[in-house]
Amino acid sequence: MDFYLVQFLSGLAQAATLFLVASGLSIIFGVTRIVNFAHGSFYMLGAYLAWTFVERWGSDVLGFWGGVLLAALLVGALGAVMEVLLLRRLYRSPELFQLLATFGVVLLVQDAAFGVWGPEDLLGRRAPLLKGTVDILGRPFPLYDLVLIALGPAVLGLLWLLFNRTRWGTLVRAATQDREMTAALGVDQARLFTGVLFLGSALAGLGGALQVPREAVNLHMDMAMVVEAFVVVVVGGMGSLPGAFLASLLIGQLQAFGILVFPQITLVLVFLFMAVVLVLRPYGLLGRKEEAPPPAAAAGPPFAPTGRRAGLAALAALAALAAVPLLAGEYALIVLTEVAILALAAASLHLLVGFGGLVSFGHAAYFGLGAYGAALLVKHVAAPMPLALLGAPVLAGAAALIAGWFCVRRSGLYFAMLTLAFAQIAWSITFQWYGVTGGDNGILGVWPPAWAASRAVYYEVTLALVAAALWALRRAAFAPFGYTLRAGRDSPLRAEAVGIDVRRHQWLGFALAGTAAGLAGGLYAFAKGSVFPTLLAVPQSVDALVMVLMGGIQTVAGPVVGAAAFHLLRTTLMASEHWRVILGLVIVALVLLFPQGIAGFARRLWNRGAEA
Amino acid sequence: MTALLTVDGLHAWYGRAHILQGVGLTVGRGEVVALMGRNGAGKSTTMKAVMGLLAERRGRVAFAGTDVSAWPPHRIARLGLGYVPEDRRVFAELTVRENLEVGRQPPRAGAPLWTPDRLYALFPNLAEMKDRRGARMSGGEQQMLTLARTLMGNPSLLLLDEPSEGLAPRIVQQMADAVRTLKAEGLSVLLSEQNLGFAAAVADRAVVIEKGVVRWDGAMAALLEDGDARRAYLAV
Ligand SMILES: Nc1ncnc2c1ncn2[C@@H]1O[C@H](COP(=O)(O)OP(=O)(O)O)[C@@H](O)[C@H]1O
Ligand SMILES: [Mg+2]
């Protein structure tokens, strides 16, 4: 009994931090309708800044709490700066662009934190006067955690007062419901939004700062926390503060007790919980049904099936690529093989994002599962390569069929979050199921057999399979199936009204995309000779989105061009230790300056030429 | 007398559809002008374009002697232009009191000063439901709240989009009374209407548009006499 009580209390303490961060995310989302990936980065910065201040002044009570507060305020100011420089330009952009742009900020902050505080975990000083423990039914419990437990409801109360008893709060709530009407009544939205970003980011910073006495500060805090905070916000209901509070409590307890029962899969538990909640209560525990969602992710001009000339051009390009081994060296072949594989992965994602308007934030899961499928077949049953390459898309496709069933139940941001959740589940299985997957050591020695061992032969094999798969994806995209997907993207209600089962088509599209990504993953495993859990991780999913975006969402050739450009850029940048900054800046620049992508840009030049 | 609001050569687009094709009109100080025309003629689009709510527009809008063509909506509102949209758009999660608070702006010289109490006197229904959320009000109550909310900004000119649309006759009567009271307070009004009776009851002048072009402009009484124009542009 006493043991469980202590466990319960630690769950509450964890919930308090979770609530601080999630409430900030929820407030920002409510007003700006932007899911701010950088929120986790602000949490991390809060922790780092507080660590620095507390090291310097934290020996007495005033210095410690002053340092914590200062860290939170600085982080809030940074959030306000981000609003002015970046978000303000994105309020009318498709969700995909907003998510990617804030992910660019994640990369920038990571590099900055790495530069300032270095790669080591930093252990902070403990809070003066609160270093000890209290006896709870004979068991020691940290005094500091009791303070945290009290802080959660206190912050909820203060926020409630702010939003319900001040003019500023009333204006924020009004803007949450109808931005345009609020502006027409004379409210300066720009200033309101800057204020909201300040408040939300400061809450994240405070959450991070308060963690300093509890756990080591490190460079992984950002993604871990932002994903959890998303879960809390989605489970509680987007934009609902009481919902976020309730969800924090539940998830805090789930973690505290889950670790006793299933120490291996606490992450999976949290995401499963979210998936179940979303299926049972689509708008979260205390969320309200939203009015018509903003325009689809990337609605744009319809794709025209490319003519015979373009088909011939593609064949010519394929022939030229097939002839490359005659001229090129080993290294060029390695890079080209990877480009071909990534092109397939990007094209499969493009089927969802471009044609279906379904922005998946977890597409790497199917790529990674394909890679693991092939590697496991080789490792555990010594399967020959063709069999392993067949197993890859089968495993990934089956996983996509299951995940897709849940995901297509929701659209927009919820869809993105659900795909992210399933990717995290898949990731944690590969990461934590040590006996089968080797955990973070991965699986090594997945090489092609003797006949395909030369780089040139494996390149040709890859090229042939990728070309065939791309052709199949195109066929699907321009078959009635593809047109239905687009109808679901552009006018779901109308499509439903004429009797098209949009959801079913989206489900099949999801499975098809997953299968294709799985084939790419299988090819990747043999190209690299090894697989690791990072293949399924969030950054990998974001890379795939960047490829699609780089190539241009509204063009059919986009993903192939984008994958080539992205991979070549990355291979040249790998040497630089600042590749994160560069990638982050590339993302932000793409979103702000070239939203139509490389292929879209080229097409526009081409059309202009044709008109002249 | 110089006009309080002057609209000149106003064009507006929704995507590729060219909706307003050079609308021009004026509203003088203390004047109530009815902007009339069939459904889809461009009345609401004109009001949104004047208010700065449309991304794609061209032309000149001058208010109180200032060219506001390129201004964002909140600055236009702060200059004293009040906008009451046709689809009401009360803040559903906010109470009556809070809805009014969102509209509150500092007092303005030369425009009537409104307080919640004065508005509750003007719309007694609202006084009985100060703490009710917008979502739980009837259509007529919402219409009154939208108007009251905009008045909290102490505007000198109201853009009032179809205040009688879809309301019970009794409420329409109340709205007409309210508009007349506002006029007596010295407020200028540009009112969009399809209901000729309502317009005739409150307006001094009428501007009739069709397919985004002004077809008729003159005294309200003259429009009532001009059967041809009514049949051609209003179908009454
Ligand atoms: N949001 C919109 N998107 C596209 N077209 C619109 C939109 N709103 C109005 N329209 C079109 O603009 C024209 C004028 O509409 P509107 O100004 O609302 O007319 P009125 O208020 O006179 O009834 C109509 O043809 C209508 O279909
Ligand atoms: Mg209208």
Q: Which amino acid is at A157?
A: G
Q: Do A170 and B51 touch (CB under 8 A)?
A: no
Task: Report the pLDDT value the prediction gives residue A488, as an integer from 0 to 100.
Answer: 79
By the CB < 8 Å criterion, does B87 face chain A? no
Give the helix/strand (H/E) hosting A135. Answer: strand A133-136
Q: Which residue has the higher pLDDT, B231 or A293?
A: B231
Closest CA in chain A for residue B155: A185
Ligand nearest to the CA of B54: 1
State the total domains in chain B. 1
Q: At which residue do the structure tokens 């905009």 appear? A: B150
Distance, CA of A237 to chain centre: 19
The per-residue b/e assignment along A469-496, b for 16 or more CB within 10 angstroms, e otherwise, is bbeebbebbbeeebbbbbbbbeebeebe
By the CB < 8 Å criterion, does B233 face chain A? no
Residues of chain A positioned with their CB less than 8 A from the CB of B98: 170, 173-174
Q: Do B150 and A185 touch (CB under 8 A)?
A: yes
Residues of chain A positioned with their CB less than 8 A from the CB of B72: 183
Distance CA A578, CA A565 (A): 19
Outline where DSSP puts E strands in A413-507. Answer: 443-444
DSSP state of A89: G
* Cα of A296 from ligand 2 centre, angstroms: 26
By the CB < 8 Å criterion, does A173 face chain B? yes
Task: Report the pLDDT value the prediction gives residue B116, as an integer from 0 to 100.
Answer: 96
Give pLDDT tens digits for A364-419: 999 999 999 999 999 999 899 999 999 999 999 999 999 999 888 887 777 888 89
Distance CA B64, CA B108 (A): 13
Candidate of B14, B56, B57 to mutate for ligand 1, largest count of ligand atoms within 8 Å of Cβ: B14
Distance CA A514, CA A153 (A): 43
Task: Report the pLDDT value the prediction gives residue A111, as an integer from 0 to 100.
Answer: 92
By the CB < 8 Å criterion, does B79 face chain A? no
Q: Is A484 left (phi over 0), alpha (psi -120 to 50) or beta?
A: alpha
Q: Which of B53, B99, B153 sits opposite A186 (nearest CB)?
A: B153
Kindly give the interhelix angle for B96-103 and A167-177, rounded to the nearest 10 degrees: 100
Give the helix/strand (H/E) hosting A278. Answer: helix A266-280
Candidate of B20, B35, B44 to mutate for ligand 1, largest count of ligand atoms within 8 Å of Cβ: B44
* Cα of B173 from ligand 2 centre, angstroms: 20
3-state secondary structure chain B: CCEEEEEEEEEEEECCEEEEEEEEEEEECCCEEEEECCCCCCHHHHHHHHHCCCCCEEEEEEECCEECCCCCHHHHHHCCEEEECCCCCCCCCCEHHHHHHHHCCCCCCCCCCCCHHHHHHHCHHHHCCCCCEHHHCCHHHHHHHHHHHHHCCCCCEEEEECCCCCCCHHHHHHHHHHHHHHHHHCCEEEEEECCHHHHHHHCCEEEEEECCEEEEEEEHHHHHHCHHHHHHHHCC
Q: At which residue do the structure tokens 């496991």 appear? A: A376
Residue ranges in A58-94 assigned as alpha helix (H): 61-85
Distance CA B42, CA A445 (A): 70
Q: Which atom of ligand 1 is nearest to the CA of B41?
A: 22
Distance CA A340, CA A462 (A): 7
Give pLDDT tens digits for A98-125: 888 898 999 899 999 999 999 999 998 8
Nearest CA to CA, how far is A186 from chain B (Å)? 4
Distance CA A437, CA A372 (A): 8
Average pLDDT of the residues of chain B: 93
Which residues of chain A carry a pLDDT beneath 50? 291-299, 302
Distance CA B45, CA B20 (A): 7
Shortest-distance Cα residue to atom 3 of ligand 1: B14
Distance, CA of A319 to chain centre: 37
Ligand nearest to the CA of B19: 1
Residues 6+ positions from B223 with CB-CB distance below 8 Å: B36, B206, B208, B216, B229, B230
Task: Report the pLDDT value the prediction gives residue A564, as an integer from 0 to 100.
Answer: 92
Ligand nearest to the CA of B40: 1
Q: Which atom of ligand 1 is nearest to the CA of B43?
A: 22
The per-residue b/e assignment along A34-68, b for 16 or more CB within 10 angstroms, e otherwise, is bbbbbbbbbbbbbbbbbbbbbeebbeeeebbbebb
Closest to A232 in 3D by CA, of A251, A208, A256: A251
Within 6 Å (CB) of ligand 1, which residues are found? Answer: B 14, 17, 19, 37, 39-45
By the CB < 8 Å criterion, does B200 face chain A? no
* Cα of B211 from ligand 2 centre, angstroms: 12
A contact test, residue of B54, B71, B86, B91 with most A CBs within 10 A: B91
Task: Report the pLDDT value the prediction gives residue A293, as an integer from 0 to 100.
Answer: 44
Q: Which atom of ligand 1 is nearest to the CA of B209?
A: 22
Give pLDDT tens digits for B172-219: 999 999 999 999 999 999 999 888 889 999 999 999 999 999 999 999
Give the helix/strand (H/E) hosting A133. Answer: strand A133-136
Distance CA A573, CA A341 (A): 20
- Of all residues in chain B, what percent carry a pLDDT higher than 70? 99
Q: What is the DSSP string of A136-158?
A: ETTEEEEHHHHHHHHHHHHHHHH
Residues of chain A positioned with their CB less than 8 A from the CB of B53: 180, 183-184
Give pLDDT tens digits for B60-111: 999 999 999 999 999 999 999 999 999 889 999 999 999 999 999 999 988 8
Task: Report the pLDDT value the prediction gives residue A292, as an integer from 0 to 100.
Answer: 42
Half-sphere exposure of A165 (CA within 13 A, CB side): 6
Task: Report the pLDDT value the prediction gives residue B236, as an integer from 0 to 100.
Answer: 64
Assess whether pLDDT exceeds 50 at residue B40. yes
Distance CA A160, CA A154 (A): 10
By the CB < 8 Å criterion, does A291 face chain B? no
* Cα of B56 from ligand 1 centre, angstroms: 14
Nearest CA to CA, how far is A188 from chain B (Å)? 6
- The complex's ipTM works out to 0.94
Distance CA A152, CA A248 (A): 10
By the CB < 8 Å criterion, does B227 face chain A? no
Q: Domain range for residue B74?
A: 3-233
Q: Do B83 and A184 touch (CB under 8 A)?
A: yes
The CATH number covering residue B30 comes to 3.40.50.300
Task: Report the pLDDT value the prediction gives residue B102, as an integer from 0 to 100.
Answer: 97
Q: Do B102 and A170 touch (CB under 8 A)?
A: yes
Residues 6+ positions from A246 with CB-CB distance below 8 Å: A236, A285, A286
A444 three-class SS: strand
By the CB < 8 Å criterion, does A88 face chain B? no
Closest to B130 in 3D by CA, of B140, B143, B139, B117: B117
Q: Is the dihedral of CA B87, B93, B98, B101 positive or negative?
A: negative
Q: Which of residues 152 through 171 in chain A touch B, CB cutoff 8 A?
A: 167, 170-171
* Cα of A253 from ligand 1 centre, angstroms: 52
Distance CA A237, CA A228 (A): 14
Q: Which of A170, A184, A186 sits opposite B94 (nearest CB)?
A: A170
CATH numbers and ranges of domains, chain A: 2-280 (1.10.3470), 330-568 (no CATH)
